[in-house]
Amino acid sequence: MIFAGQDITAMPMVKRVQLGLARTFQTTTLFNEFSVLEHVELACHLRYKESAVSDVLMTRMAGRDRTLQRGKAEGILRTLGLDEIATRCCAEISSAQQRILMIATALATEPKLILLDEPAAGMVAKERAELAATIHDIRGRGIAVMVIEHHMGLIMDVCDRIAVLNFGQKIADDVPAVVRADPAVIDAYLGTAD
Domains and their CATH numbers in the chain: 2-159 (3.40.50.300)
**Residue of 52 and 175 predicted with greater confidence:** 175
Name which of 139, 181, 184 is nearest 159 in CA terms.
139
Instruction: Identify whether the C-beta of residue 58 lies closer than 8 Å to the C-beta of residue 86.
Output: no
On the question of pLDDT at 47 being above 90, the answer is: no
CB atoms within 10 A of CB 6: 12
Cβ within 8 Å of residue 190, ≥6 positions away: 152
Report the C-alpha gap between 34 and 83 in whole angstroms. Answer: 15
On the question of pLDDT at 103 being above 90, the answer is: yes
pLDDT band for 45, please (50, 70, 90 cuts): confident
Give how far Cα 148 sits from Cα of 68, 92, 108, 183, Å: 33, 27, 21, 21
On the question of pLDDT at 160 being above 70, the answer is: yes
Name which of 161, 120, 167 is nearest 180 in CA terms.
161
Entry pTM: 0.88
Instruction: Tell me the H-state helices in 20-112.
Output: 36-44, 52-56, 60-79, 95-107
On the question of pLDDT at 192 being above 70, the answer is: no
pLDDT band for 86, please (50, 70, 90 cuts): very high
